[in-house]
Each structure stands twice: as C-alpha cells, then as structure tokens.
Chain A
Amino acid sequence: MTPLVTLPLESYQLAKYAEPLVCFVCRFENSFDAETCRGCGAPTALTHQATSPKRAPQMIAVIGPPGCGKTVYLGMLLDLLARRTTGVRALARGAFSVTLQQETVEALASCRFPERTENTPSRWNWVHCQVHLNRRRCPREIIVADPSGDAILGHLEGQGHHPAVSALFARAAAALVLVDVSEVEAGGSDGEYFAVKALSSLDELERKGRRAWRRRPVAVVFTKADVCETCFDDPREYAELHCSSLVQFCHQRFSKVGFFATSVARSDTGPLGSQVPLRVEPRAIVDPFEWLIARTAC
C-alpha cells in the first residue's frame, strides 16, 4: 500500500510546467521536462541553456557532405578558441557543449578520428559558447550546430523533409560550408555540387527583407587542405580554379562570401580503407570563424 505523503503545493513549480518550452531551433512548443524537441528532435538542454543568457544566442550552421570533416573541424576549433588568451576566444556553456571538444581531442591525440555523427538530431553536436572579442565589451552568445552529413544530404536530395535541418537553415545567422580538398584533388566534384545545393537551399528559404540569406555571411572552407599546399596560398584562387561553379553561384547569390583553407591533421588511408590521422597539425582553423563573427550582426 502506498504511504500517504503530504507535500506543500508549490505554485511556482506548477507554473513552469504550465508554460511550454519553445524549442530554440524549430520554435515547437514542448513540455518543460521533455528531453528532446518533439518537433525537430534537437535536445531541449540546448533550449534551456539558450534561454538563460540575457541576449538570445545566434546560430551558425556547419554544412558539408558526410566525411568532409565537420565534427573534427568544429571540435578542434572549440579547443583552439578555448586555449586562446588573445583575439577571439570562446567559453563553452553547458556540459553538452564540452563533450564535442573532449571527444574530438581525445580521439585525435590517440591517432584516430572521432566516430561519425549519428543521423539523429539529439545525437548531433550542438555547441553553445560565449565568444569574447577584444574590441567588444559584451561577449556574444553563439550556438554552433554540427548536423549529420547524411541528414543534410537527405534533406537536400528531398528524400524526406528533415525538420531539424530546415529549422537550422532558417534560423542560422551564418553558415560554414565545408568542401573536402582531398576529394577535389582526386578529381571529384561531389563536394562542390553538395555546397551549391546547400547554398541554393539557403537562398530559397528567405530571399527578401533584412534577414534574407544573401545578406548573411557564408564562409566556404576547404578542409583537409594539407594535401594541396597551393590551397593555403590563396583559397579564393584555388576555388576559382577547381570549383568555378561554386564561386560563380556564391558571387551571384551572396554578398558576404569568404574562402578559406584549413587542415587539422595529416591523415592517410589505412589498409582497411579507413582514414588514419598520422599527426595533428592544425592550420588556419580559427580564420573562418573569426571572419564570420566579424560579419555577423549582433
């Protein structure tokens, strides 16, 4: 028999249950104790974290095909920003924001790449950080979303409407579009077409008004650029030479476009076909992020 327990009626506790929790990503109204958003599947911890600061955070979407290095790039970017003492610096907010950095660094230090991001929004990498800029007094609240490449691909191919991806595309204040240089050097153009599709999808979302995507900054980042040294010399020239259709599209549809080359680790294909990081030598990782932050309106 259940013992009778007398609890005082705390009205404020009832009140918070009565008020819906609006998902930061898709604006869907969830119950207060939901773990993931019923609308898009994003973790509600992100929303809890995002509602706590005075100023609403801005979102930056990291877009790229599967295997182009989104997670590695983002994890290394956070680690670099967290170690910095001058320039643009970042402090993670919430435990879930540190997890990506921790997993990436641990994996790379032991000469392996982190596991592939799962195709479930609750398992994507969501990072909420406070970005400090030297010239600005107040820090900026930034949420960086690293969705699964398969989810973006599925969304772009129209295989199924992915609410989290479409909500992310609509809400993001800026985008980092990643293109794998090793694939470009091998003569492939899938990465370029993927980038054009993604940018075209962004452009179609909002074409008029102050929030039109053509006004938002887009950084095209060539990842794994250590395989081609000339890419570091002049990424824009490299893009014009190897991804001319992407360059043309960017120039015609977006007013703030930057081209960057980055590299996290020197890797090679192992006998089992998997990529093995031989050593970690980050190059020009922070540049695209700095460029985006400088051009993102407060």
Chain B
Amino acid sequence: MLLLSRPRIVCVHRVKSALRNPVFWSGIATASAAILLVGAWFVDLRVGVGTSLALMFWAIRRHRAFGSVPEPVGESAAAVAGDAGSDAPDGNGLVPLRDTTIESSLPQSMLRQQRYALLVRAKIAETLDGDLQTQAHRLLWDRMGLVPEGLVDLGTAAGGESSQVWLDPVLIDRHCVTNKEYFEFVLAGGYQQPAFWDDDIVSGLLDFVDTTGAPGPRFWADGAYRPELANHPVVGISWYEAAAYARWVGKRLPCDAEWLKAASWPIATGGGTLAQRRYPWGNTMDRTRANLWGSGPKTTVPVGEYANGVSVGGLYQLVGNVWEWAATPFQLPRGETVPAGAAAPVASGEVPMKSIRGGAFDTYFDAQATCQFKSGEQVLARKHNIGFRCALSACDVANLFCQSEDDLEEAMI
C-alpha cells in the first residue's frame, strides 16, 4: 500500500500544480487555437480563423508574461489580489489577470498553508473581515506559544560573569515544522522565488535538491516526502532553506536567547539571579520525556509525541527528536579561544556556522541534550537530524492581547 500511495501522492500533486499553473493553460489554449486554425484552413471560415488567431496571440502573450518558471499559487494570487484594484498595466505592459475566484480564496489558502502569521500583521489584518481575523488568531494561538518578556541567562561568559539579556515577548512554534507543512512551501514554488531567500544564496538554490534532483529537502524523492513521515519534522534542510520557509510563512528563525528562554523558562528569584530549568520539564533528565539516544526508535518521531516533555509554555520536543536551527551565529565552545586579532570563528572551508539547539534522536550524552547546550553546524549542511521551528515577535501581531479572554487563557496554558 505504501509503495503504491507514494507515487500516487506525487502524481496528484503534480497534476494539481499543473492545473494551477497558468503556463499549462496557455499551452492548452495554444494547442486549441492551432487545431482550430488548421480546421478553419480547410473549411475556409473567416470567423473561425479570426477566433483562432486571437486565441493564439492571447496564449502567447500570457506565456511571455509568466515566463517559463511556474508561478506559485500563493504568490500569483497575492499579486493578483494586490493589483486587482487598479487595472493599470504592469512593467511588461500587460494588464494583470483578474481572477475573482482566486482573489476571494487567498486568505483561506494562506490559512491552509499555515501562513496565518501574515494575516495577523496590522496592515493586513485591518483589511480582513472579522471571521478571518478570528480564524487567523485561533491558528496563531493554536500553533504558537507565547514566551513572555524578561531576562534570560545565556550562560557564563569568558570573564566568568553570567550574561543576562532582556527579551521582548515572542511567539514560538509549538512544534517543529513538519514535512507536510514544508511541502506546501515546495509546492507553492518557494524554491523558485528569490524574494524568500537571502541574497547570497540565490545562486546556490539549484543545489538544494532531493534524491531525485527535484527542489526540496535532501531526503525527499520526486519533490515529495514519504507519506508515513508527514507529521515528522522536516530534516535535510540547510539553514537557508529553514530561513526561507520562515520568511514565506511570515515568521523568522528564533535567536539563541529566545530559544533558551522558551525552553528553560527563567524565573527571577531576587538578588539578580535567575532560576532556569536544565530541561523543559525540570532539572533532572527523564528519558521517557524526549526522543534521545537509548529512549526512542533511533529516528525521528511525529512532532506531537512526547507530550509529557513539553515546556512550561506548551512547546513540544524542545529537547530531542531533531536539533533546531537558530538565527544566531555559532561561537566555538569554551576552551577553544580565539587568538588575539583573529576573525570570528568559522568552520573549515570558510563556511560560517549557525547555532543549533535541543539535541536529536541520536544525541548520546545527557549533558548535550540540555536547554543550555548549543552546538553549531555549517549553514549549507543538510543533516538527517536537524530541523527547525519558527518564531514571531509579539510586536508584529495586531491585537495580540485583545482577543477573547478564553483564547488568551488557552494559549497561556
């Protein structure tokens, strides 16, 4: 069954994406016009010839307008929605297509794609009706946990002093991004849209392919994940791919301090000291609460498992299952000091490193699966045990605390 279902899913997605692709329809129109033209030539119907030619020119214009790169659904729809108010010609001198069906379903499709973070931003939220706003906020509180403002201790600095930093409130995903969620990004043509990617990696996008050469995470095939791994965290993605997905859904990667605060949940105990947890559930290792070496199946598990290991803020699997990319550059561990005058530490081959947090299913030592422990990985590495979750600054959300009290209480729980 599994062997049959995988190609079927790939096939269905390909058909769907083809049907949504304007290039495909313009090709159909061109072919129809050509058939009509040939028919009219034999029958000598001037009306038929005229219709065929008009149809063919329209198809050619449409094809030129969209180019050879498939247009992602969300982005084309967004462009349509944005230009729908004015029929002014665009840069190519073409009048944008007005598709009322797509226009009306755009926010719904964005909600389906887990891009609710874009809909709760102030400028966009004020254009939505109340029902959509409620839906977006419900999704926001359902999928993200609030980490309140406050101090967090990043650990002992080189001088022996603890380094405490103040953080503004931030929302962090309750689960790591799953294969299913990441698939929406791939399906929407995320790998073909330079706008979502850092400028310095655009030329390297062609290298981010799966086992069959299609754009996508490293361990996928034919641009799709294995169906049984739908709810597993997506792995085999570089830091750039994680950052691009986060940008696509209107979020960002959390920095080290935010991740640490979400996991260790510091409490000010007076005298300038902070009580921080060693693990999200407490200060003692309990291997039944996390997917680590010796406690799990030695591979990834669905993101909703290990519910007894959630953090105070309700975030799942902050420790175990997969390492999580953070936005912070990685500094080498203590003991390896940088010589005076040397540049910031970078990995061999001059590839910079980013911080990764939380340990994975194959993390061997308890000491390397704590909230405080951090490791690093090269930004281009696409490892089997590194995934990510996204963050969103609370200040970017319109009316964050003005929803119904029930929602707020639910989120805090």
Q: Which residues of A approach B to under 8 Å, CB–CB? A: 83, 105, 108-112, 229, 266, 268-272, 274, 276, 278-283
**Contact between chains at B368 and A280 (CB < 8 Å):** yes
Docked pose: A278 CA to B364 CA in angstroms = 12
In the complex, chain A residues whose CB is within 8 Å of the CB of B368: 109, 279-280
Docked pose: A116 CA to B348 CA in angstroms = 22
B67 part of interface (Cβ distance < 8 Å) = no
In the complex, chain A residues whose CB is within 8 Å of the CB of B345: 270-271
In the complex, chain A residues whose CB is within 8 Å of the CB of B153: none
**Contact between chains at B332 and A270 (CB < 8 Å):** yes
**Contact between chains at B332 and A281 (CB < 8 Å):** no
Contact status of A270 and B336, CB under 8 A, knowing A109-B367, A279-B368, A279-B375: yes
Interface of B is mostly: loop
Docked pose: A281 CA to B332 CA in angstroms = 18
Q: How large is the interface on B (under 10, 10 to 19, 20 to 34, 35 or more residues)?
A: 20 to 34
Chain B residue nearest to A84 (CB atoms) is: B294
Q: Which 5 A-B pairs have the closest CB atoms?
A: A270-B336, A279-B375, A269-B348, A280-B364, A281-B362
Within B335-359, the residues touching A (CB, 8 Å) are: 335-339, 342, 345, 347-348, 353, 359
B241 part of interface (Cβ distance < 8 Å) = no
**Contact between chains at A278 and B348 (CB < 8 Å):** no
Digitize B248-260: 1 where CB-to-A-CB distance is under 8 Å, 0 elsewhere. Answer: 0000000000000
Partner of A278, one of B360, B362, B376: B376
**Contact between chains at B360 and A281 (CB < 8 Å):** yes
Chain A residue nearest to B338 (CB atoms) is: A271
Partner of A83, one of B294, B333, B335: B294
B384 part of interface (Cβ distance < 8 Å) = yes
Q: How far is the CB of A157 from chain B (nearest CB, A)?
A: 28
Docked pose: A24 CA to B368 CA in angstroms = 40
B377 part of interface (Cβ distance < 8 Å) = yes
Q: How far is the CB of B294 from chain A (nearest CB, A)?
A: 7
B311 part of interface (Cβ distance < 8 Å) = no
Chain A residue nearest to B342 (CB atoms) is: A271
Chain B residue nearest to A79 (CB atoms) is: B364
B385 part of interface (Cβ distance < 8 Å) = yes
Q: How far is the CB of B43 from chain A (nearest CB, A)?
A: 61
Docked pose: A29 CA to B274 CA in angstroms = 64
B317 part of interface (Cβ distance < 8 Å) = no
Docked pose: A105 CA to B384 CA in angstroms = 24
In the complex, chain B residues whose CB is within 8 Å of the CB of A281: 360, 362-364, 385
Chain A residue nearest to B369 (CB atoms) is: A279
In the complex, chain A residues whose CB is within 8 Å of the CB of B293: 282
Docked pose: A111 CA to B376 CA in angstroms = 12
In the complex, chain B residues whose CB is within 8 Å of the CB of A83: 294
**Contact between chains at B365 and A112 (CB < 8 Å):** no
Q: How far is the CB of A107 from chain B (nearest CB, A)?
A: 11
Partner of A271, one of B339, B362, B367, B377: B339
**Contact between chains at B377 and A283 (CB < 8 Å):** no
5 inter-chain pairs at a CB distance below 8 angstroms, sorted by A residue, are: A110-B367, A112-B335, A268-B332, A271-B339, A278-B376
Q: How far is the CB of A186 from chain B (nearest CB, A)?
A: 9
10 additional contacts (CB under 8 A) given A269-B347, A271-B338, A276-B333: A108-B364, A111-B335, A268-B332, A268-B376, A270-B336, A271-B345, A278-B376, A278-B377, A280-B368, A282-B362
Docked pose: A274 CA to B335 CA in angstroms = 11
Q: How far is the CB of B373 from chain A (nearest CB, A)?
A: 8
In the complex, chain A residues whose CB is within 8 Å of the CB of B362: 281-283
In the complex, chain B residues whose CB is within 8 Å of the CB of A278: 333, 375-377
In the complex, chain B residues whose CB is within 8 Å of the CB of A283: 362
Q: How far is the CB of A181 from chain B (nearest CB, A)?
A: 14
Chain A residue nearest to B353 (CB atoms) is: A268
Q: How far is the CB of B342 from chain A (nearest CB, A)?
A: 6
Docked pose: A279 CA to B337 CA in angstroms = 18
In the complex, chain A residues whose CB is within 8 Å of the CB of B294: 83
Docked pose: A82 CA to B333 CA in angstroms = 29
Partner of B364, one of A110, A272, A276, A282: A282
Contact status of A280 and B363, CB under 8 A, knowing A109-B368, A268-B347, A270-B345: yes
**Contact between chains at A271 and B332 (CB < 8 Å):** yes
Partner of B365, one of A108, A266, A270, A272: A108
